[in-house]
Amino acid sequence: MVLPLVALVLIGVGAVSFQVPYLLGQGWGLLQDLLNRRPVEQVRRDPHTDTETLVFLDRVEAILGFAHGYINLADPGSYRHVVQTDRSALAYVVSASPEFEFRHYRWRYPFFGSMPYRGYFNRDAADHEARRLRQRGYDTLVRGISAFSTLGYLPDPLYPFMARFPVHRLANTIIHELAHATLWLTDQDHFNEQFATFVGDEGSRLFVAERYGKDSPEYALIQQSAHDRYQFRSEMVVLRDQLRDLYAQALPEEIMRARKRQIIEGYQLAFAARYDEYYRTDAYRHFSVQPVNNAYLNLFRLYTDDIDIFYDVYRSFDEDFAATVRFFLEFDGTDRDPYELMQEHLLRVALERRLEQRIAFSEAEVAYQREVIGWIAPLVRTGVEEYLAGI
């Protein structure tokens, strides 16, 4: 019963905090999940457990083995219990941005610092918060999520709806959340989300490749998903740039609002027309009918805008994934900007490799010169001997 007691402590923290109603409500939701959970081994032994669930639990066990054994992510005891629920989403998250600006609205939390989102176990509560912010002139987004991390303070559970995930999505979800539990820099949500996204994306690819092989349907699907994810990310950057250009103009709000709507709707129509030509899965087809605003577009900025630098670091370690993750763990406790630390690392590696190339070139040049001398010397010697013999 230790975990329910921990949840009650969290509720107590909420009771003395300035965010009393919110923390009490979410503490109660978390406590209910903890009370409704069962150990994985108990679920396995239950004769009423269906085959789909058993396969799901086997996959989770394999993913955890890979995450803790190969990647060396933290092990707070997560994903070893199953919550008994018929919910189709774990929770609902509210995000917000100013109507004509790509800036995150931020909430502050005890222990965790500020974050650009707020989660609710109850959809009505999430919708209420979104309405409150819309009345203040913000664009808002409410989305269901399939997992979240308590950053290692509590062991995160499994939920029945996860059993329907394709193996690469299940692996990505678990590894992403364990990355949060392994490394979390206070007030660095941009880095935190992109670090977890990088670790989840690449970790799940490596897991599928190792477990199923690169010739498997599972690996083909993860490659198709990665292609579509990169394509969609690129398209969101284009749309955001178009809107940013609009926002830079000194226009009356009503004209700005109308043109914003025209740009978004026009982009969605063009997106739907070209979808089958550019995409390999149906993962993003919904975008053409999705309500789109600054909060929606800012979400992709949060998770993926600067993610290429993480892959640059990965390549600097010759794509040794475990070594790359260890490098990032050295950021824990630093007051430095993590992106500056990455840039410094890449610059240092580039200088070291350039020096190595120069040394290798010099050695090769010396070896070549020795080879030439070795080839020419006998000819010279023969010529000298013939000359001397003729005197």
Residue 278: is its pLDDT beyond 50? Answer: yes
pTM of the entire predicted model: 0.81
Q: Show me where the domains of the chain are located.
A: 2-336, 337-391
Residue 5: is its pLDDT beyond 80? Answer: no
Mean pLDDT of all residues in 381-386: 54
Q: How far is CA 253 from the centre of its chain?
A: 35
Residue 56: is its pLDDT beyond 70? Answer: yes
DSSP symbols for 278-321: H-SSSTTGGGGGS---HHHHHHHHHHHTTTHHHHHHHHHTTT-H
Instruction: Report the pLDDT value the prediction gives residue 69, as an integer from 0 to 100.
Output: 95
Rounded Cα distance, 259 and 257, in Å:
6
Mean pLDDT of the chain: 85
* Angle in degrees, CA 173, 169, 298, rounded to 5: 65
Q: What angle, 0 to 180 degrees and rounded to 10, lies between the N-to-C axes of helices 321-329 and 308-316?
A: 110
